[in-house]
Chains A and B, each alone.
Chain A
């Protein structure tokens, strides 16, 4: 992913302003060279006299679209590092219709008018003055027209709206553009009697290049999912077996794991006991029967490698998965034994001679696979933190430096009277309980996205804002705001390290002013979040190998020695890691332990970063902190949150409880 100014939250820095100026220069040159400093030429398209607007605009859209589509396919461009405009049907259709009328009357649009003024057109200057007036008019009428902008659909793509493939949509779009170019040339030829580019070699080559470029998207975007009859499918399996395409060599696997290939999912299908004795580092432990369900998130994405001691079981499992539509499953040639012999056997014990290059490789493999995972490194200097995208835990120093930014929304979670006595300048006061309520008879549940979006709107938070939560004595208050952000799909969220206590101790500024808040229209996500699970899912996961149920309550509640709900004890098979153990005392404040320490601790509890984990506590509050630690600080990717927690589990007698001390 490219680190853009938008991604690092520095679009208002001098660097971004300078870059914008340069991009603007190129933009201005292009518009002028196109002849868009003439309103007659611009308006020509509406009278079928001069089709330059169509040719230039459509070419630019297609060229940029192709570039962006490839960038998206390669993962360089995502919704995190690029600002995608939202779709608001009423505002954009009505706005477009009015805009079109103004465009043909005035003869300009905002960008071309700036170029028109540069080339001395008085009408362009008058047009711009009118546009300034129109903007002021909009501001004055905003309370009346705001309802038109209320139904924000978020980021919606045309291919989603039509339910077609991205590459197919882009290809048809390109074909329409090429058709329009030829149509435009034909119109100009008929109307003005000038040959132009009609039937020219240039236009033929140009059209062909665009179409080929668009066609290439099918190759990079779509992963082949062949629909085959059982017979041809079996034939393909047998042919694949004969040619060995379903195998991955041990050296290749070792190198890819050493290189930290994120696309690779390694699965050990032996028994948990064997797995516990030794397994290839980063491997998940799954039993054959659980494979289809557990591997669904990786179906036809990346590479799944199965291994066992030998090759029979992985081969059978691979074929079974292939029949279920998994096209990305491979088995390890020669199995675990082959891996041990080829990669990890000490050089001194080998019968065959080993070349120096091979010896260096073996040493690197042994160092990697026979050691414990290294701690996750975190940037420590402020400059390194700024260079990377937003860190999940921001220092008081960072917040103090970013006061003037209207897109940094500070939320103070302390009691209201403390807030009134002095707070971080510009901070909004929020009672964390206002984000929770009784749902399906279970109290203290995080509210649905619709209500959370309403709360965010009232606080003036917009999707592009960075939310920083300032906590009092409970960091889980801040991380629960984080859960609300997660439910709304709001990724730009951070916790103030050490909370208000550290801020105060460092004698940072406080004031008693009420902040100015402009309500926003926070969009409601179309789909429910994917991380919240209920008792049913927890029950299904219970006793499954490879799925960790992590109870973050204090030890005495876990063992059943103490209880504050209908029953004491814990979910059978759950493991205990009290959330308070992730905190440590600093000078006058408490804060999370270092990521290095936390990584070592959780590395022992959870098999891999991709392992499925279900977190819970009593009400979902404390577990939100562990959720934050695992997903945001340590990069775990498959964490679920059982919000209802022990409150529900204990009160439903049909759910099993274990209460012996462990």
Chain B
């Protein structure tokens, strides 16, 4: 079955904006995704080295139950919402998305390395595209707007070097 076409990007943007607004008015905080990943990281590290993790300066502040955090539940919701929407639009298929001249291995290596960098950078900037670029910019916060601009600057500077993984 052919997947259904994507929705009107502007209307989806309105839905996303209203969701963000609801998050601020109900929770008192914006959307976020990378914090949940960091907390999974803290959990993983505490399984391997519990005493070291609790004593570490950064993860130590999460306490001994790092997953008891609202953004962890939010990311679980994102996964659920994504699955629901993808199933309804017939867009579920197990595969590696890549350009014709890029091997799966190369694409996965880049994904792993990119993930590593993004995980690190999100902690440094205290948020990712969701928490800083989207939520912070909507409040017109100086730091978040600078983050948004920096993300695009970093992206455009790097894009030429990895163009082969999607486009030929």
Contact = CB atoms under 8 A, between A and B. Distances in A.
Given A103-B151, A131-B34, A68 B123 contact: no
Interface string B62-96: 01000011110111111111111110010111111
Given A65-B139, A77-B25, A115-B82, A110 B128 contact: yes
A29 B85 contact: yes
Interface in B147-161: 147-159
A158 interface: yes
Contacts of B37: 110, 128, 131-132, 135
A63 B78 contact: no
Given A33-B7, A114-B33, A181-B10, A109 B81 contact: no
Contacts of B137: 61, 65
A327 interface: no
Contact of A100 (B19, B28, B154): B154
A96 B6 contact: no
Contacts of A33: 6-7, 12, 15, 85, 89
A495 to B, nearest CB: 24
A203 interface: yes
B44 to A, nearest CB: 6
A22 B78 CA distance: 9
Nearest to A70: B21
Contact of B81 (A7, A25, A108, A116): A25
Majority DSSP secondary structure for residues of B touching A: helix
B117 to A, nearest CB: 3
Given A85-B126, A134-B119, A170-B140, A96 B24 contact: no
A140 to B, nearest CB: 8
Interface in B48-70: 53-61, 63, 68-70
A130 B115 contact: yes
Interface in A6-22: 6-7, 11-12, 16-22
Chain B interface size range: 35 or more
Given A52-B9, A91-B124, A60 B20 contact: yes
A641 interface: no
B27 interface: yes
A117 B79 contact: yes
A324 interface: no
A40 interface: yes
Given A96-B149, A107-B111, A126-B108, A20 B77 contact: yes
Interface stretch (A145-153, A346-354, A380-388): A145-153
A29 B91 CA distance: 13
B16 to A, nearest CB: 4
Given A127-B112, A149-B124, A134 B129 contact: no
A218 interface: no
Contacts of B17: 59-64, 67
A287 interface: no
B83 A96 contact: no
B141 to A, nearest CB: 6
Interface string A53-87: 00111111111110111010000110001111111
A637 to B, nearest CB: 24
Contacts of B80: 21, 24-25, 28, 118
Contacts of B117: 98-99, 101-102, 105-106, 130, 134
Q: Which of B81, B110, B154 has the most CB of A within 10 A?
A: B81
B125 A99 contact: yes
A85 B21 contact: no
B10 A103 contact: no
A340 interface: no
A100 B58 contact: no
A27 B78 contact: yes
A142 B45 CA distance: 15
Given A33-B89, A84-B139, A98-B121, 18 more contacts: A18-B73, A24-B79, A25-B77, A25-B84, A33-B12, A34-B12, A47-B159, A63-B13, A63-B17, A92-B147, A102-B117, A107-B166, A110-B37, A111-B129, A115-B82, A118-B86, A134-B123, A138-B123
Interface of B: 6-10, 12-31, 33-34, 36-38, 40-42, 44-45, 53-61, 63, 68-71, 73-86, 89, 91-99, 107-108, 110-159, 162-163, 165-167
> 7 smallest A-B Cβ distances: which pairs?
A24-B77, A106-B114, A130-B115, A134-B119, A28-B81, A100-B154, A59-B13
